[in-house]
Amino acid sequence: MSLLFQPITLRELPIPNRVWLSPMCEYSAVDGLPNDWHLVHLGARAVGGFGLVMTEATAVVPEGRISPQDTGIWNDEQTAAWKHIVDFVHERGARIGVQLAHAGRKASTFRPWSPVTGTVPVADGGWPTVGPSATPFPGYDSPAEMTPTQVADVPERFAAAARRALEAGFDTVEVHAAHGYLLHQFLSPLANTRTDEYGGSADRRALLVEETVRAVRSAWPEDLPVLVRLSATDWLEDGLGVDDVAAVADRLGGLGADLIDVSTGGVAPASIAVGPGYQVPHARRVREVSGLPVSAVGLISEPAQAEQILVEGSADAVMLGREALRDPYWPLRAANTLREKIGTLPVDSGVGMQPQYSRAQWR
């Protein structure tokens, strides 16, 4: 059996294969509520054979949304809406996780296809933003520097969202500490110029991330995994590098993180040499230093390429983003390309191809 289609177990959660759907914002919610778009988007990938389906960045508080159209998980109505989607994915035999997020200074922005860019004015449905410091992301409004009380409240907001995620039936939660959003802002010296206990040295800048992971782990069942997405480099000379982030990942493992979802960039505009698998070496380095399982993401498009990433020990799973948008059935195609037969056992076994699609099986 190819490694790509071997199951992996995190804590006591078996995941049927190592082809996972990366979190991708759909900018299609109203008042934080997931809807039929999210059901079809996530459900189609479960039908398509992805072993773990991750939601988009889902805000833990209203002001934590990247855009007014982002999903949330801060109230009962949202929790119930997510449960409907979770149940459908489970019926297809896949696992599902929610990415818990707070956008910080990158919140309240227009969605990508809007004719205007930047921060949404309050009069148009936006809100004032906050961050570790009053330094804005280029092109956005300046955030208010968070008070010590506001900072101290962040871990509990993430923990409360995790408890709601459990109520909705999610199999795992992912703490979003990447792509220039709030927790990454605290980590990076490019966004954090605080002089209190949450700023200054690398250890102090990492404190909020560590407190948040600890709080989420305490709120989450011991038998289910907690994932953390980290940007392994800021791609800028004065920003975070992969060894800095690998050291953080090592400490997060001691606090209960079970897998690091390794991405890069986002805290400030940077010139990035993009190519197939360009972030994979960063995933490998985080894996080597932390000893934790990792997932790799970033222009992974071909089955043989994905298989090789696992064979060479660079990652334990691959996350597909844009490729999954182009082809929601990528895992079925990959199995056919690799001449891998996917079992047609009942979906409650946690593995298997949908019987309606069994004719797509390699024979």
Alpha carbon of 24 to those of 27, 54, 84, 102, 297: distances in Å?
A: 9, 8, 19, 15, 12
The residue written with tokens 């993430």 in the block is 158
Q: Is the dihedral of CA 60, 232, 223, 207 positive or negative?
A: negative
Interatomic CA distance for residues 220 and 214, integer angstroms: 10
CB atoms within 10 A of CB 143: 25
**H or E element in which residue 317 lies:** strand 317-320
Alpha carbon of 183 to those of 103, 164, 210, 242, 260: distances in Å?
A: 8, 20, 10, 17, 15
Say which of 27, 140, 181, 357 is annotated catalytic. Answer: 181
Strand partners of residue 145: 131
Residue 181 annotated in active site: yes
Alpha carbon of 177 to those of 57, 83, 193: distances in Å?
A: 11, 25, 18
Exposure pattern of 47-59 as b/e (b: 16+ CB <10 Å)?
bbbbbbbbbbbbb
CB atoms within 10 A of CB 231: 26
What is the residue type of 112?
P
Alpha carbon of 179 to those of 88, 231, 236: distances in Å?
A: 29, 6, 14
Pairing between strand 52-59 and 13-15?
Answer: unpaired
Pairing between strand 317-320 and 19-21?
Answer: parallel
Interatomic CA distance for residues 141 and 51, integer angstroms: 39
Q: Which residues are catalytic?
A: 181
